[in-house]
Amino acid sequence: MQALILADREIIGLTGLGNSNEPWMVEIDGVPIIERMLTQLDNSIVSRIILITRDNKESLIEFTERLNLKTELVFLENKFYKESKSIYSIFLGREYLSMDDTVILNSQLVLEDNLLESILETDGECVVSVDIYKNWMTGKPVFVDGNARVLSVGQEPQMASTLQLNSYRMVGICKFDMNFTKKYFVPVLETIIDVQGDSLEYSEPLNVIAMSNDTRIKALRVSNAVWREINNTEDINQATILFSKDKKSVADKMLGSWGGYWRYPDYLDYFYLVTPYYPPRELVEELQNNFKVLLEQYPSGMRVNAELAASAFGVSPESIIVGNGAAELIKSMMGFIKGKTGFVRPTFDEYPNRYTEIETVNYLAESEDFSYSASDLIEYFDKTTISNLVLVNPDNPSGNYIPKNDMLRMISWARDKGIKIIIDESFVDFSDEINSSLIDQEILNQYPNLYVIKSISKSYGVPGLRLGVLASGDKRLISRMKVDVSIWNINSFAEFYMQICGKYRDSYIKSLDKFRKERTRFISKLQNLRYIRVIPSQANYLMVELLDGLDAEELKQRMLLEKKVFIKTLSKKIKGKKQYLRIAIRNEADNDMFIQKLAETLNAMLSSENRIEKDV
């Protein structure tokens, strides 16, 4: 058995990332891609490795000499790598292909040992490794019948409508036996190059052979194997997660992306806070049906989007501004708000992080449940000289809630004191109090010192659209902010959502009712677990204290790496010996699964022999 590695391809997405500007020198968990592959082959039954190189031949030879491999190495230079494709790379090694059974690998492939062993041990004239399509794969489509026979590669066979076919993608590792190579592959390869040239992939002769009736190309499905093809920085990051031995760095890398968890479809996301029962299927389908036109059309400017938001929330266009998520509006508004600013701690750090310690006055919620009332805040800040007060209601992470009438009393106090009051009500719709929002034209007119921010992403379950609004009776500030942010600050999909969302108001209200019931059930279930204390919440998340000396960072790592669950620890937000988590509230099925995984992890952590060192 021998191996042929295609190391002559230029990978644009990897340019400049590896040492010596070579794509195959890109490191995964500290090991160059080519070193990993050569070492795996050197430890296998392979007796010869043929490397097809471009003008990097000498540097590759020099590199491999340092590896002290026992396997024979052969280097073949492709001098026309810029004009040709992989069919010509294989053509250069055709004489060697006829000498022995051969496994062919793309040099940018990172795979576990089991996958290589599996294809080396699989019998067949020709074995093509395939996997179910994932959006990072670049391999050609492969159509396979019920007997694992490949019927075509790269194009759907003509008789597909009369057959039960499965569609996969090539993984980038194939095996030819010597007789197959001599009888079929090389003759077809040479004919295609003579007739069509060398600007095709080597899957082309495989397709011609597969569509004939006198041979069998076998598909080896590798869906349970761990592998990744490396074409860009995204692939490097994901491969590092898959193959890294440093589990803490894996956890940090996954959580450090601050979103994009669609990359991990097998994981439960209890980190980010999104309503589980909205949007309804009909709204999603309306967005899908208009995808193409929205993709190809420019969005409207600020004026039109302010009108849409005004219609959705029942205020005047002059009283509201739309943002690319609430974060954009927070940044813009806080740039205009001057003077000392009061905050409740712990809270959402996006606000206090924009001020120096000298500019802030903090109220520390120090009760066991981190609870506080409007009267508590009025009494505390009445003794200070603040110009502004920022309050998240319900608060994040505690879920503490101040009822609407008490909020209005505090807003009135602030007005009388000449204090601007900024209320983030991104989670207020989840509270048990109905009609609790302060985005009301009458309220805004009565209290021009009031600024209300709402994240549509969180309340309405559309974080990918990046939508937020700010409403205020201070029309001068609203006007200044509309100049400050980009005129085209939201995309066509977000604008279209605002255009149609009013039709689904009843569905939204029903989703909130359903959510409140599930929150009650979820809290009750969690309270049955030992080793945790659940803090009351009026939001779509819960703050949980860990008991019996359990460590939040250890739990986070275990839940992610062992149970495939994202959770948020509050160690950086809340100092001291006590350990806290913030967990999202999802639908009933997910919540039950989460409770099971959490219970298993808590029990495992309390077994001394299973303890993870905290500095790991």
> Helix crossing, 374-381 with 404-416: angle to 10°?
20
Confidence of residue 428 (pLDDT cuts 50, 70, 90): very high
Rounded-to-integer distance, Cα 586 and Cα 276, Å: 5
Residues 495 and 572 in one domain: no
Q: What is the pLDDT of residue 571?
A: 85
Q: Which of 511, 420, 407 is nearest to 459 (CA)?
A: 511
Average pLDDT, the chain: 91
The string of pLDDT tens digits covering residues 513-535 is 999 999 999 999 999 998 999 99
**CATH number for position 259:** 3.90.1150
Q: Is residue 423 part of a domain?
A: yes
Indicate if the pLDDT at residue 55 is higher than 90. Answer: no
Indicate if the pLDDT at residue 137 is higher than 80. Answer: yes
Q: Is residue 289 part of a domain?
A: yes
Q: What is the pLDDT of residue 18?
A: 53
Q: What is the pLDDT of residue 158?
A: 67
**CATH number for position 464:** 3.40.640.10
Q: Tokens 């494709």 belong to which residue?
A: 85
Residues 415 and 545 in one domain: no
Residues 415 and 500 in one domain: yes
Residues 294 and 396 in one domain: yes
Residues 262 and 326 in one domain: no
Domain count, the chain: 3
* Higher-confidence position of 370 and 459: 370
Residues 258 and 309 in one domain: no
Contacts of 399 (CB under 8 A, 6+ apart): 427, 535, 536, 537, 538, 539, 541, 542, 543
Residues 389 and 495 in one domain: yes
Residues 389 and 489 in one domain: yes
Q: Is residue 515 part of a domain?
A: no
Pair type for strands 126-131 and 579-584: unpaired
Q: What is the pLDDT of residue 255?
A: 82
Residues 157 and 229 in one domain: yes
Q: Is residue 521 part of a domain?
A: no
**CATH number for position 65:** 3.90.550.10
* Residue-number span of the structural domain to which 268 is assigned: 249-273+540-610
Residues 305 and 373 in one domain: yes
Task: Give the DSSP H/E element, type plus range, for residue 452.
Answer: strand 450-455
Residues 214 and 253 in one domain: no
Contacts of 39 (CB under 8 A, 6+ apart): 67, 69
Q: Is residue 615 part of a domain?
A: no
Q: Is residue 240 part of a domain?
A: no
Residues 332 and 258 in one domain: no
Q: Is residue 72 part of a domain?
A: yes
Q: Is residue 216 part of a domain?
A: yes
Contacts of 523 (CB under 8 A, 6+ apart): 534, 536, 537, 542
